[in-house]
Amino acid sequence: MPIKQLSVFLENDTGHAGRVTAVLEKAGASIRGFSLADTGQFGIARIVVDKPEVARLALEEDGFIAQTSEVLCVELVDRPGELARVLSLFASAGVNIDYAYSLVSTYVVLKVANNETAAAQLAAQPLRLVEQAEIAALRVAGGAAGASDVATAAGGAAAGAAAGVGAGGATTTGVAGATANSDVGKAGASDAATADGGTAVGSGVAAAAGGAR
């Protein structure tokens, strides 16, 4: 089952990304993961929140161009080589990954061309796709110096993850790095309406496959 991500068109200007997180905080939407892609004069923020439709409406009311789209989210086991294993499973199933970024806990978001087809192709593989209800159920417990234990309410499993407070007070995961393999699409010009293109920069533990939307 796919989950929803927000794509927000941003001006490449000081404080613009902070305005987005402030709007999300005011709307009561908690950030589970995000990536920022630079296309030169403009950028695209891809964000996974617990209340995607609430967040989208709030951003649009504040003047942002925002839309929701569906991506895959895979649960990872916290061990060396796990991401390499998952990426190899996608490759062996013939599923191309356009971009990827991380969420809280051991989850990776993957944007693919067709979520239903990819899910069917991956059905026999030893991995578990995460549903939207689990994203909404994720909770970050407070901790000293921004460190927190991220509990997965749906599955009952907990994993340690570093978390920070984004501009405007919204909780976000720390930026973790860039894209994972050669399947990840290269950065390019993007359209404000479709938010297509762009190499994703990771945060937390989620990945995205398929066109950037």
Query: Residue 16, exposed/middle/buried by CB under 10 A (0-12, 13-18, 19+)?
Result: middle
Range list of β-strands (E), the chain: 3-11, 31-38, 42-49, 65-75, 99-102, 107-111, 139-140, 147-151, 158-165, 171-173
Question: Token pair 């991220």 is at which residue?
Answer: 150
Question: Which pair of tokens denotes residue 139?
Answer: 């909770």
Q: b/e map of 78-96 (b: 16 or more CB within 10 Å)?
A: eeeebbeebbebbeeeebe
Q: Is 156 exposed, middle or buried (0-12, 13-18, 19+ CB in 10 A)?
A: exposed
Model pLDDT, residue 120: 94
Give every strand in the sheet of 158-165, ordered side by side: 139-140, 147-151, 158-165, 171-173
Rounded to whole angstroms, the Cα distance separating 94 from 102 reads: 22
Q: Which amino acid is at 35?
A: S
pLDDT confidence of residue 105: 66
User: What global pTM score does this model have?
Assistant: 0.59
The superfamily CATH assigns to domain 3-173 is VC0802-like (3.30.2130.10)
Reference 201, options 210, 184, 192, 189; nearest CA is: 184
Q: DSSP 3-state assignment of 154? A: coil
Domain positions in the chain? 3-173
Per-residue pLDDT of the chain in tens (213 residues, 90 and over written 9): 899 999 999 988 888 889 999 999 999 999 999 998 887 778 999 999 999 999 999 999 999 999 999 999 999 988 999 999 999 999 999 999 999 999 876 787 888 899 999 999 999 999 999 999 988 887 654 433 332 333 333 333 333 332 232 333 333 333 333 333 333 333 333 333 333 333 333 333 344 443 344
